[in-house]
Amino acid sequence: MANVFVLGGTGFLGYYTIKELLTRGYKVSTLSLPPMPAEELLPGEVDCKLGDINEMSDEEVLELLAGKDGFIYAAGADERIVPEAPAMKFFYEANVRPTQRLARLARQAGVKKFVLFGSYFAHFAEVWTDLPLMNNPYPRTRLLQEEVACMEGEGAMDVTTLRLPYIFGTMPGRMPLWTMFVDQVKGKEIAPVLGGGTAMVTAQQVAEAAVGAMEHGEHRGKYAISGINMKHSEFHQMILDELGQTETKVVVMPLEQMKPAMEQHDAATAAAGREHGIHMGVAVQVQDRDAYLDPADTMPILKYREDDVIASIVETLRKCVKG
């Protein structure tokens, strides 16, 4: 039986990934930041430790990884965080530096497969070259995170990345991040959105893709996974349906009307000494496009299955509404 270490196993994606690994017969260990979100969250056969791996010495990390065949990196900071400026420095220190160190130590410990949970913003930064995503802190550092991990693995450890879109599902002890979307439209007369859309997956699909990347992925493989694609207007209508706000209207706003307001928001954020990982003036341009992905590009490679994404969205939003 192969041994797999999951960093962040009590987090949303780590939790699902551990369950999938156990289903496939892997021996699993994990380290996560305290506290545990729920008692008896993970089965007893999981070697679960709490702590901050960034505060451990190299020797302690090497001991933690001894005998491990795979490493799944389900940790890090995402674009919802608005740190003190410069955001580039924050996301570099939060995502790039720890990944490079841990990939180096994983290779040193004899790990053969390293799977990194990344963002589909890295994919669209490469595809939509007419937008300045490459110059925005979050996509740029996500790309650098992928590259340093691959460099550390060269010749000894296969490194693959899952570029993740909108993800849905629930778990014990944690509220879904989509609560913030529910709160934005709760009690409002209109729900303004832009005209684009996004790829979506379930947490179960992410878990299956992660194990698939470890089993079937190629070194330097960067897999932008998807289950379905959906317009932002459709998603917001689903939110309103769960809230029971039959009178609230979803209104698709023109980019020309939204962009100046978001650029003013960026200026106000900068004046407060903070910076978004993706500037709001750029984010609205992204939201005005269809950030769609074809599941057929990655499903045959990673062998993750189709899932009922719509049912998962409903389940997730229902938990957000109930609180």
**For position 1, what pLDDT does the model report?**
57
Instruction: Single out the residue of 40, 50, 42, 44 nearest to residue 7, CA to CA.
Output: 50
Q: DSSP string spanning 143-163?
A: HHHHHHHHHHHTTT-EEEEEE
For the record, the structure tokens of 212 come out as 């698939």
**For position 163, what pLDDT does the model report?**
98
pLDDT tens-digit profile, the chain (323 residues): 599 999 999 999 999 999 999 999 999 999 999 999 999 999 999 999 999 999 999 999 999 999 999 999 999 999 999 999 999 999 999 999 999 999 999 999 999 999 999 999 999 999 999 999 999 999 999 999 999 999 999 999 999 999 999 999 999 999 999 999 999 999 999 999 999 999 999 999 999 999 999 999 999 999 999 999 999 999 999 999 999 999 999 999 999 999 999 999 999 999 999 999 999 999 999 999 999 999 999 999 999 999 999 999 999 999 999 98
How far apart are alpha carbons 204 and 194 in whole angstroms? Answer: 28
Q: Which amino acid is present at 206? A: V
Query: C-alpha angle with apex 162: 78 to 74, nearest 5 degrees?
Result: 55
**DSSP 3-state assignment of 7?**
strand
DSSP 8-state symbol, 275: -
